[in-house]
Structure 1
Amino acid sequence: MSRVDVAIVGTGPNGLAAGVTMARAGLRVELYEAAGQLGGGLRSKPLFDDEVVHDICSAVHPMAAASRFFREFDLSSRGVELLHPEVSYAHPLDDGRAGLAHRDLDTTCALLGPDGERWRRLMRPLLEHSEGVVDLILSGQRGIPKDLVAPLLLAGRTLAHGTALARGRFATEEANSLLTGVAAHAVGKLPSLASGVVALLLGHLAHGTGWPLPRGGSVRIAEAMVADITAHGGVLHTDREIVDLRELADAKVVLLDTSPDGFARIAGSRLSDRYARRLAAFRYGPAAAKVDFLVSDPIPWANPGVGKAGTVHLGGTQAEMFRQESLTAKGIASDEPFVLLVDPTVADPDRARPGKRPVWAYAHVPNGDTRDPVATVRARIERYAPGFTDTVIAERGISATQYEAYNPNYVGGDISSGAMTLSQSLLRPTPRLDPYRTPLPRVYLCSASTPPGPSVHGMSGHLAALSALRREFGVRTPPSLAPHARRTANPPAAPAH
Structure 2
Amino acid sequence: MARGDAVDAIVVGSGPNGLAAAVTLARAGLSVRVHEAAAEPGGGARTAELTLPGFRHDVCSAVHPMALASPFFRAFGLERRIELRVPELSFAHPLDGGRAGLAWRDFDRTVAGLGRDGRAYRRLLAQLVAHEAAVTEFTGSTLLRAPRHPLVAAGFGLRALEQGTPAWNLRFRGDVAPAMLTGVAAHAIRPLPSLGTAGTGLVLTTHAHARGWPIPVGGSGAIVAALVDDLVAHGGEVATDAAVDDLAALPPARAVLLDVTPRALARLAGDRLPARYRRALRGFRYGNAAAKVDFALAGPVPWADPAVAGAGTVHLGGTREEIAAGERDVARGRHPSSPYVLVSQPSTLDESRAPEGRHVLWTYTHVPAGSTLDPTEAVTRQVERFAPGFRDLVLASSSRSAEQMQAENPNYIGGDIASGAPSLAQLVRRPVLSPDPWRTPLAGVYLASASTPPGPGVHGLAGWHAAASALRHEFGLGMPRLAP
Cα 1:352/1:298, change in 2 over 3 Å? same
Structure 2 CA distance, aligned partners of 1:431 and 1:155? 20
Partner of 1:177: 179
Structure 2 CA distance, aligned partners of 1:146 and 1:432? 19
- SS, match of residue 301 in structure 1: coil
Tell me the CA shift for residue 154 of structure 1: 0.3
Larger displacement relative to structure 2 (202-211 or 269-278):
269-278
Partner of 1:457: 459
Q: Which amino acid aligns with 1:267?
A: A
**Which of 248, 253, 263 is matched with 1:246 structurally?**
248
Tell me the CA shift for residue 21 of structure 1: 0.8
Tell me the CA shift for residue 379 of structure 1: 0.6
Among the aligned pairs, what percent are the same residue?
A: 52
Partner of 1:209: 211
**Which of 61, 72, 91 is matched with 1:69 structurally?**
72
**Which of 286, 289, 297 is matched with 2:288 structurally?**
286
Structure 1 CA distance, aligned partners of 2:51 and 2:86? 26
- SS, match of residue 210 in structure 2: coil
8 Å Cα contact 2:145/2:435 also seen in 1: no
**Which of 374, 378, 387 is matched with 2:389 structurally?**
387
Q: Which amino acid aligns with 2:42?
A: G
Tell me the CA shift for residue 444 of structure 1: 0.6
Partner of 1:356: 358
Partner of 1:490: none
8 Å Cα contact 2:183/2:315 also seen in 1: yes
What RMSD in Å do the two structures reach over aligned CA positions? 1.3
**Which of 154, 159, 162 is matched with 1:160 structurally?**
162
8 Å Cα contact 2:33/2:236 also seen in 1: yes
TM-score of the superposed pair, with normalisation by structure 1: 0.94
Q: Deviations over 1:227-270 (max 9, x none)?
A: 11111110110111011111214111100000111112221232
Partner of 2:303: 301
8 Å Cα contact 1:140/1:463 also seen in 2: no
- SS, match of residue 65 in structure 1: coil
Tell me the CA shift for residue 143 of structure 1: 2.1
8 Å Cα contact 1:85/1:346 also seen in 2: no
- SS, match of residue 116 in structure 1: helix
TM-score of the superposed pair, with normalisation by structure 2: 0.97
Q: Deviations over 1:286-345 (max 9, x none)?
A: 100000000101101111111111101011111111121122123222232211011102
Structure 2 CA distance, aligned partners of 1:261 and 1:196? 27
Partner of 2:153: 151
Partner of 2:314: 312
Partner of 1:231: 233
Structure 2 CA distance, aligned partners of 1:433 and 1:43? 32
Q: Does 1:55 find its partner at 2:58?
A: yes
- SS, match of residue 395 in structure 2: strand
Displaced runs of 4+ in structure 1, greater than 3 A? Answer: none
Q: Deviations over 1:388-436 (max 9, x none)?
A: 0010000111000100010000000000000011010111112234211
Equivalence map 1:85-96=2 (5 Å): 85-96=87-98
Structure 2 CA distance, aligned partners of 1:149 and 1:225? 35
**Which of 190, 193, 204 is matched with 1:191 structurally?**
193
Q: Which amino acid aligns with 2:151?
A: V
- SS, match of residue 419 in structure 1: coil
Q: Number of residue pairs matched?
A: 481
Partner of 2:140: 138
Tell me the CA shift for residue 100 of structure 1: 0.7
Structure 2 CA distance, aligned partners of 1:277 and 1:205? 36
Partner of 1:102: 104
- SS, match of residue 221 in structure 1: helix
Structure 2 CA distance, aligned partners of 1:391 and 1:93? 21
Structure 1 CA distance, aligned partners of 2:356 and 2:20? 37
- SS, match of residue 69 in structure 1: helix
Partner of 1:115: 117
